[in-house]
Structure formats: structure tokens, C-alpha cells
């Protein structure tokens, strides 16, 4: 799947989930940044992705050792990373935000023709019928845009409060 499709899925998750929480405004903004970062990070294992191009030396090395859709597209990686972050005393809410974005990326990639091996290095591969960047993915992307617009309109007052809450201390 293309990054834009991953991005809009996490925006749907964010716009649906955040209004139901009682966390502070700055935490909501951090949650948004981390869920997007989580959705972006799995593709650091290829130099053809947006994050791979932005981190080319790192993505080249990762790709040499693990290939695309290897370790970084596995449940084991996000579990190990979450444990490490917990041991480093990173707040649980931040780990959850990042992990939700990460897992949503893996979830969408399961439906692509290339599929993925969620339990890498175990050879089990799960794949679907969707060609990355093809008509079906574009239709899904447009559907995701529609859902984001609906949720955005539904939560407009809440999102306005979030922006004001973040900017108020600055001004």
C-alpha cells in the first residue's frame, strides 16, 4: 500500500478515538504525531518508500540485512520495540499510539498482492488481491478520505479546542 493510504487509515483511527478520551491537548497532538510515525516506520526497510528515501543510508543497510517486508514488517519487531520503550520508561500512551500506527500499516499490507510475513522469520505469508497503487487501492484511499472528512466535520469543535489548547500557552 502507498503511504497516503496508511496515513488516512491512522487519521480515521485518530479522529474516531481521540474525542472519546480525556487526555490533555498536547498529549492528543503527540498521539497524532506518534500514530503517523508508527504508520510510516515499517517502510524504512526499502529505499523506494518516502521514509526510506528520507533516511537512505539507514534504509539501505536495513534492506541489505532484512529485505523489504522482512523484520520491520513483523509483529515481533513492534513487540520487541514496545518492550524496549517500556523499559526506557516511555509513557504507555505514547507506546500505544506508535504501536497502533505500526500495526495498522501491517494490517493494510496484508491485503496487498505482495503480502507480508507477520511472524518473520517464520515463512508464513499472508497476501490479498490489492495491487499497490492500483484501482482498488485508489478506491480504498478515496473511501478513507470520505471517512476522514465525515469524522473531521463531526469532531470540528473538539479539534478546534485541541488546536486552541496547544497554542494558548504560546500566545
- For residue range 34-74, what is the model confidence (pLDDT) as tens digits? 999 999 989 888 888 888 788 888 888 888 888 788 888 89
Q: What is the pLDDT of residues 6-32, one digit of tens each?
A: 999 999 999 998 877 888 888 888 999
Residue 97: domain span: 3-167
Q: Which of 29-38, 78-87, 113-122, 127-136 has the lowest mean pLDDT?
A: 113-122
Task: Encode burial over 159-168: b for 16+ CB neighbours within 10 A, e otherwise.
Answer: beebeeeeee
Sequence-distant (≥ 6) Cβ neighbours of residue 53 within 8 angstroms: 47, 59
Rounded to 10 degrees, what is the CA torsion of 151, 154, 158, 162?
A: 30
Distance (Å, rounded) from C-alpha 103 to C-alpha 44? 15
> How sure is the predictor about 170, in pLDDT bands with cuts at 50, 70 and 90?
low
Report whether 148 contacts 12 (CB < 8 A).
Answer: yes
Answer whether the bond into residue 108 is a cis peptide, omega within 30°.
no
pTM of the model: 0.86
Mean pLDDT of the chain: 88
> How sure is the predictor about 161, in pLDDT bands with cuts at 50, 70 and 90?
low
Our count of domains for the chain comes to 1
Q: What percent of the chain has pLDDT over 90?
A: 54
Amino acid at each position: 500500500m502507498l503511504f497516503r493510504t496508511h496515513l488516512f487509515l491512522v487519521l480515521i483511527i485518530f479522529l474516531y478515538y481521540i474525542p472519546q478520551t480525556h487526555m490533555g491537548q498536547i498529549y492528543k497532538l503527540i498521539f497524532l504525531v506518534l500514530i503517523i510515525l508508527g504508520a510510516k516506520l515499517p517502510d524504512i526497510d526499502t529505499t523506494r518508500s518516502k521514509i526510506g528515501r528520507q533516511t537512505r543510508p539507514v534504509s539501505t543497510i536495513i534492506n541489505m540485512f532484512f529485505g523489504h517486508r522482512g523484520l520491520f514488517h513483523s509483529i515481533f519487531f513492534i513487540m520487541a520495540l514496545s518492550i524496549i520503550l517500556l523499559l526506557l520508561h516511555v509513557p504507555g500512551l505514547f507506546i500505544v499510539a506508535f504501536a497502533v500506527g505500526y500495526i495498522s500499516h501491517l494490517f493494510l499490507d496484508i491485503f496487498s498482492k505482495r503480502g507480508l510475513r507477520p511472524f518473520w522469520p517464520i515463512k508464513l505469508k499472508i497476501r490479498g488481491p490489492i495491487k499497490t497503487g492500483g484501482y482498488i487501492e485508489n478506491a480504498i484511499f478515496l473511501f478513507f478520505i470520505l471517512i476522514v472528512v465525515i469524522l473531521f466535520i463531526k469532531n470540528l469543535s473538539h479539534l478546534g479546542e485541541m488546536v486552541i489548547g496547544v497554542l494558548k500557552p504560546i500566545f
